Chains A and B, each alone.
Chain A
């Protein structure tokens, strides 16, 4: 920070000298005032599926910092994985006296909140949909292209298994209602269709629960002892699949691929210790800054909510031991400590 100041000061001084030389009229940039007028005191409310997991805490930490910087008000609601509590939170937010200007929603599935979010838009609130797609024309969708995420996972597992393996793959899906699970599956199958010698031998659901993931993976490994790779649809429950692989003593034989928010203890540490072969990670900071850009744009655009619904997909890549770098992941503890220090 200090260094930038010094550069700025030097640049400023140099500019000052040259300005004095030409003696121009003091021109005031009107932009900051316009910017401030549009953004100051604006309310931004984030309603994720829960506040208790890495992605939501990462989004919240960065959004807080950014919204504070432009003089807005940032709030979160914590439905704690309950669809009803989330619906209630959105309803309450829409009908409160201090309506938000931007509502950021992580939808639990394709349809549950569609009507509520439409209502929010009709009340003049911009709605940004994050991470989970929904059947609703939001003012922007910021998050992953889940089909592509599935493709990356499948490519990682094909590569992890290698050409001389059994080419048998197991999937531990999330469930059969969540868009993230369905699209992920579609993406995986697309890639496997291009690699016809690879076959899926089992595709149980974990219902996003680690114990269930462990039990189904144990069964899967016993039924197909020569499996070379497993894709578990979320790092939140892939600890279960990892436990099953560890229990079977097949850490060296089974290449486990999953996806997550790229938090250090959840993903990078597990890649480093060999628990996960590859993790398709969301660049959290990038994703959150995309949200920030969209918020700033919408608040200054003057357009009515629901005018356009662009998709702002976050860049993703499969991280493995080979391309793991110290900055591949973000550190939740550090982010929280930084937020607490302020």
Chain B
């Protein structure tokens, strides 16, 4: 962060978002009663935990110059299928292995089609997301909402607290840390940036560009499954209607607003955290003020638009920076 401001002397989008988030936080703390309390801060973090986890998966894919539009479908449908199997009386281990295998398959399929068949990621994942939703909804489960069986570990897991803080906050933190380590300190993590920045050059110097691409979609699918389990743990059921909601756009929003460029090769875990912080603080403050949802959406989207415009002004695209495969 400090490096970034030293390098060019002008603000990156990451800093703009962080500044806006801090500003809203400060104003809300000063003016809204009950905003600046430990309980409320925990609930802010918690409210964006699942969103943030999904955005972490999305970030890995976007940094590698892709996008995963099947994330929400995988999240909801894998868990719905898992719970349905349990409700139908299948043993836990068998159900979990079956569902994990399914999640892996979809991740591999996404990755294979993008990496080897060279179909643009946006089409592949859009289609696979619809496929996952349609297949699971019509063939494997009988209702939109599938409850967690009574006394199952998923239900108990949702009630786990350390220091009065819900478990998903810790999982969000742990996942963020692991992905930070992966992207920053592992060879394949660094390769994600190189491959995202210039895939041709990355391949020419001998990086396993295609297998890495496949790996990213598999990671994204597994992260989506984790996010789904956490959702079910908290709500004691999973509602597949979430696939039709704006959640997918919110995930991309968190990643993009945090400053992860859709053209790839830029950004990291901190961007996701800043993006998630901004969204969480904004939604929480608007809920406390009791702003109706339609205005909340308007305000949210206006801020997204502003962030994109500011980014466009600060980091203009031209022939040199525009890359083939931009979305």
Tell me, yes or no, whether A binds B.
Answer: yes
Chain-B contact segment, one of A48-56, A94-102, A312-320: A48-56
A interface footprint on B193-207 (CB within 8 Å = 1, 0 otherwise): 000000000000000
Cβ–Cβ contact B245 & A219, under 8 A: no
A176 interface hit (Cβ, 8 Å): yes
With a 10 A CB-CB cut-off, give which of A53, A82, A207, A218 has the most chain B CB atoms: A218
Chain-A contact segment, one of B34-42, B94-102, B314-322: B34-42
**Residues of chain A within 8 A of B158, CB atoms compared:** 243
Q: From the candidates A53, A175, A209, A216, name the one contacting B287 in the complex (CB within 8 A).
A: A216
**Residues of chain B within 8 A of A246, CB atoms compared:** 159
**Residues of chain B within 8 A of A237, CB atoms compared:** 239
B237 interface hit (Cβ, 8 Å): yes
From B40, which residue of chain A is reached at the shortest CB distance?
A222
Q: From the candidates A50, A176, A236, A239, name the one contacting B236 in the complex (CB within 8 A).
A: A239
A interface footprint on B117-150 (CB within 8 Å = 1, 0 otherwise): 0000000000000000000010000111101000
A45 to chain B, nearest CB (A): 19
Q: From the candidates B43, B142, B239, B244, name the one contacting A218 in the complex (CB within 8 A).
A: B43
Interface residues of B in 28-60 (CB under 8 A from A): 33-34, 37, 39-40, 43, 46-47, 50
Cβ–Cβ contact B142 & A209, under 8 A: no
Q: From the candidates B235, B240, B292, name the one contacting A52 in the complex (CB within 8 A).
A: B240
Q: From the candidates B37, B242, B290, name the one contacting A222 in the complex (CB within 8 A).
A: B37
Interface residues of B in 211-245 (CB under 8 A from A): 231, 234-237, 239-242, 244-245
Q: From the candidates B34, B40, B244, name the one contacting A82 in the complex (CB within 8 A).
A: B244
B166 interface hit (Cβ, 8 Å): yes
With a 10 A CB-CB cut-off, give which of A175, A215, A236, A332 has the most chain B CB atoms: A215
Cα distance, A271 to B245, chains bound together (Å): 28
Chain-B contact segment, one of A17-25, A155-163, A187-195, A197-205: A197-205
Cβ–Cβ contact A209 & B242, under 8 A: yes
**Given A214-B235, A215-B287, does the pair A223, B242 have CB atoms closer than 8 Å?**
no
Interface of B, secondary structure class, is: helix
Cβ–Cβ contact A209 & B241, under 8 A: yes
Cα distance, A220 to B34, chains bound together (Å): 10
**Residues of chain A within 8 A of B236, CB atoms compared:** 239, 242-243
**Residues of chain B within 8 A of A336, CB atoms compared:** 142
B163 to chain A, nearest CB (A): 14
A247 interface hit (Cβ, 8 Å): yes
B19 interface hit (Cβ, 8 Å): no
B1 interface hit (Cβ, 8 Å): no
Cα distance, A175 to B292, chains bound together (Å): 8
A265 interface hit (Cβ, 8 Å): yes
How many residues belonging to A are interface residues under a CB distance threshold of 8 Å?
Answer: 40
Q: From the candidates A50, A204, A211, A239, name the one contacting B290 in the complex (CB within 8 A).
A: A204
From A52, which residue of chain B is reached at the shortest CB distance?
B144
A81 interface hit (Cβ, 8 Å): yes
B134 to chain A, nearest CB (A): 9
**Given A52-B240, A176-B294, does the pair A222, B234 have CB atoms closer than 8 Å?**
no
**Residues of chain B within 8 A of A57, CB atoms compared:** 143
Cβ–Cβ contact B47 & A239, under 8 A: no
Cα distance, A338 to B175, chains bound together (Å): 46
B246 to chain A, nearest CB (A): 9
Cα distance, A53 to B245, chains bound together (Å): 16
A240 to chain B, nearest CB (A): 6
**Given A52-B143, A82-B244, A216-B287, does the pair A222, B239 have CB atoms closer than 8 Å?**
no
Cβ–Cβ contact B145 & A236, under 8 A: yes
Q: Given A204-B290, A216-B287, 20 more contacts at CB 8 Å?
A: A50-B144, A52-B143, A52-B144, A53-B143, A80-B244, A81-B241, A81-B244, A207-B245, A207-B293, A208-B241, A209-B245, A210-B235, A218-B43, A219-B40, A219-B43, A220-B287, A239-B145, A239-B237, A243-B235, A336-B142
Closest 8 CB pairs of A and B: A205-B293, A52-B144, A215-B47, A219-B287, A218-B43, A223-B34, A210-B235, A216-B287
Chain A residues close to B by CB (< 8 Å): 50, 52-54, 57, 80-82, 175-177, 202-205, 207-211, 214-216, 218-220, 222-223, 236-237, 239-240, 242-243, 246-247, 265-266, 332, 336
